[in-house]
A and B are shown apart, each in its own frame.
Chain A
Amino acid sequence: MVGIDPKAATKTPPKVVTIRVRRYNPVSGREWWQEYKVETHRGMTVLDALLKIKEEIDHTLVMRYSCRMGVCGSCGMVINGTPRLACQTQIAEVADEANPVITVEPLYNFPVIRDLLTDFTSFFEKHRKVMPYLIRNDREEQEDPKGQYLMSREDYEYLEEFTLCISCGLCYAACPVAAIDPDYLGPQALGYLFRYVIDTRDEAWEMRLKIADDEHGCHRCHYAGTCSMVCPKVVDPAQAIQRLRSILFKYKLGLYRKKKISGISPPPKEWKPRKPLPPEAKPVSSEVDYKKLEEEPVVIEVEDRRITLRHKIYE
């Protein structure tokens, strides 16, 4: 919801922005705000700006990042008061000519190791606590599978959004209960727990409900819902926790029936013969000069919305 603006990258940011970083030195214990002036370019993200600062202005600035494309979930920060992924936040989105100042703080509710780097140890301990993996009663079969666990398309679509979590911690940083209670499991872990409770392939759902049924589990949620608002993957943990709590109460009152646990697909009786290649396809011969292949550019043909990637070597 926040931070998903497909047109943001087409806007022109102010030429120079001031990045105000909340810094922390763990040795001296000093905390301070530091300002950096950064020249921008179109398409520049907050992470780009921070990396530019680190490369050109101040090498001591510390942050965590990895993929730079909103997949790994490492660069969560509080940008202008909102938890966001720095790599997914365009400068043009959070600053303009009238107000070219961007404040960057470490994620709330996480212990700060240094500057923008936060400690995820307890966050991942909570993640581990909810057992975020499939559990079947037949452990032997699970270790040495003979087929695939079946799942209907509808069942998959129901839980698909909850599988998209990248554990970036933005929901946890936005949560008003995580801001008070360090033992609260948090939206991320509870969202994951719900995802496995409703999974028709999972047989440990009663065990999972017991984990959620704790004073610091799903009952601590008060449906402020900011978690879903800041999620960069539209996971909606707020909905997951309310549904989880509702399931838990129904289960306690003897009213909950889980959908039938899915079976295992039968092993294929015989392998079908591979389809032959179409006559126009030319397999790469063993005499291909790979060095040449690397030097020559790939030809990209766009014709009537069909994109073809072709290499000169095949011509």
Chain B
Amino acid sequence: MSSGGPRTKRNMPGLLRASLNPWLVRVPDHPERLAFVLHRVTGVIIILYLLAHIVVTGTPAWRGWAAWDSLMTQFNNIWNQIGEFIVAGSVLFHGMNGIRLLLTEFFGLCLGEPEPPKPPYIPPTYRACQRKLLYAVFALWPILWFVAGLLIFGVW
């Protein structure tokens, strides 16, 4: 189409807005969307940590165990602890929500049975046990994260 002629407008929110904003589309009572955003964000945090982790844990192989111990002493500061705390929270959420996704996406379980629509018109997915699993994830996550925090910050 020529530059001066009529043209359609692209109306897609794009990667960052769709991946980071769980309220991009306003829908009440919808924790699955929040779980999707959290799963994606925690996944990215974990893979970045994993790559760094593989490099750092290579230290004793390249430079010996003494170097590893001095590195661990060096890493024992508040900023690294905050980083570890964020990674621990990410792993806990990603793991627990991952079990729910394994059951639904891979095994096709916890999805409810398809049925002809009837009042109050709530799709079977949202009455199925996956929703209860998701509530369990959201309930357990802060508790386990708190415990991990006690360990990481040396309170326990």
Instruction: List A residues at the B interface (Cβ < 8 Å).
Output: 1-2, 4, 6, 24, 26-27, 29, 31, 78, 80-83, 106-114, 118-119, 157-162, 164, 173-174, 176-180, 182, 221-226, 228-231, 233-236, 238-239, 242-243, 245-247, 249
Contact = CB atoms under 8 A, between A and B. Distances in A.
19 contacts: A27-B5, A29-B9, A83-B25, A108-B11, A108-B24, A108-B25, A159-B114, A160-B114, A180-B12, A180-B19, A221-B105, A225-B125, A226-B25, A228-B126, A229-B123, A229-B126, A239-B114, A246-B105, A246-B107
B32 A246 contact: no
B78 interface: no
B13 A236 contact: no
Contacts of A174: 25, 27
A168 B27 CA distance: 18
A119 B8 contact: yes
Given A1-B121, A176-B24, A224 B14 contact: no
Contacts of A118: 11
Nearest to B112: A239
Interface in B11-25: 11-15, 17-19, 23-25
B30 A225 contact: yes
Contacts of B126: 1, 225, 228-229
Given A27-B6, A81-B25, A160-B114, 4 more contacts: A173-B25, A226-B32, A236-B114, A243-B111
Contacts of B18: 176-177, 179-180
B7 to A, nearest CB: 6
Residue from A6, A174, A235 having most chain B Cβ neighbours under 10 A:
A174
Interface string B107-128: 1100111111101111111101
Contacts of A247: 108
A113 B123 contact: no
Interface stretch (B33-41, B61-69, B83-91, B138-146): B33-41
